[in-house]
Amino acid sequence: MTSNAQFDGYRRSDGGVGVRNHVLVLSPTGLTSAAAQRIAHLVAGTVAVTSGYGRGQVGEDERLHFATLSGLACHPNVAGVLVVSAADAITEPYLDALRRTGKSAEGLSLPSVHEDALTLVDRGVRAAARLVRSASSARRTSCTLADLFVAVECGHSDATSGLVCNPLCGALTEAVVAAGGRAVFSETVEWTGAEHLLARRAASPHVAHRIVESVLAREHAVRESGGDVRAENPGPQNKTGGLTTIEEKALGAIAKGGEQPVQGVLGATESPRAPGLYLMDTPFFSPESITAMVAAGAQMVLFTTGAGNSYCSAVAPTLKVSANAETCTRLSEQIDVAAAGVLDGRVSFDEARAMALDALLDTASGTLTFGEIVGEGAEVVSRLGPSL
């Protein structure tokens, strides 16, 4: 792998680089989610991102809701955004955030159409069509690994994940970071039992403290709710795949970042300010974890799996990576990078790494993942508390 590896991406006016050129139909309120989905269904080139909430949230919960959805709207993979919501006062802050990035954006709300959802769809289809036409004039230009921000996730892991797939993705993050790019992995509970090893790799004592404290805080929250982290993790699919303890699972999980220094621990949706490898403090459930990392600006997701896991981001192309031979055969239209040959000696680790890098760069240049082709994409906003 080399620091001058190339891909073709979309350079945005705010300095970001996109690997996709989506027009987002964003509904930050549950009252307009159905309308947003109808608009996206009717207009080619659009992707719908919706929330079932958007009113009645307070404090940190309200802040996270806006940070997640505005982060997705302002994402480098997004060329333009149509915001539809239940009120002008909800639509405007998203438009303000979008204007600061220079993206094309239009906004609609139910009061502007006298609460007629069908009129909202009619106007929305016309607005989205204009945005797609404008976005289609963008052209890809040559970019390097330094322009990438890659998120790494694991789901339904088994023994092959820790042995091959996670180290393989760790090697890719090392290549991206060595070239001047950024990488992140999350799922805080899945560091449990290996947090001291991550702390040893911390770039500073403060970062080391944050790693350990993040794990302890999650464990404390589970105990306060009457649960037990170790009793519930590994899950059924993990145990079937040969993982016996959370510590064993964690040793495989942290391999997703390779062996490089950890530059910081980010809050959910927080963007890294400099190149390097970062951790993000998030729930372990893949839809929430991935959405938080993509909302922080990650243009691509590497998702390792043992048994298979169909979830993908709607905004960032998600490459499924597996080294389980049975899974690679059974789910041939889900797995984008099949690395089972490493386990039986048909392929060396270095050969698999080169293959995976080619897949990463090809996808960044426009090759579709299976998840994109079959429409598995979604985004999920975490909730932190009750609504008013």
Give me the average pLDDT of each 10-residue run along the chain (388 residues): 79 96 98 98 98 92 97 98 97 97 97 97 98 98 98 93 95 98 96 95 98 94 82 74 80 94 98 97 95 98 96 98 96 97 94 97 98 97 91
Tell if the pTM clears 0.75, that is, is over it.
yes
Q: What is the 3-state secondary structure (H, E, C) of the chain?
A: CCCCCEEEEEECCCCCEECCCEEEEEECCHHHHHHHHHHHHHCCCEEEEECCCCCCCCHHHHHHHHHHHHHHHCCCCEEEEEEEECCHHHHHHHHHHHHHHCCEEEEEEHHHHCCCHHHHHHHHHHHHHHHHHHHCCCCCEEEEHHHCEEEEEEECCCHHHHHHHHHHHHHHHHHHHHCCCEEEECCHHHHCCCHHHHHHCECCHHHHHHHHHHHHHHHHHHHHCCCCHHHHCCCHHHHHCCCCCHHHHHHHHHHHHCCCCEEEEEECCCCCCCCEEEEEECCCCHHHHHHHHHHCCCCEEEEEECCCCCCEECCCCEEEEECCHHHHHHCCCCCCEECCHHHHCCCCHHHHHHHHHHHHHHHHCCCCCHHHHHCCEECCCCCCCCCC
| Per-residue confidence (pLDDT) for residue 305, from 0 to 100 | 96
| Per-residue confidence (pLDDT) for residue 285, from 0 to 100 | 92
| Per-residue confidence (pLDDT) for residue 1, from 0 to 100 | 43
| Per-residue confidence (pLDDT) for residue 235, from 0 to 100 | 73
The tens digit of pLDDT for each residue in 33-81 reads 999 999 999 999 999 999 999 889 999 999 999 999 999 999 999 999 9
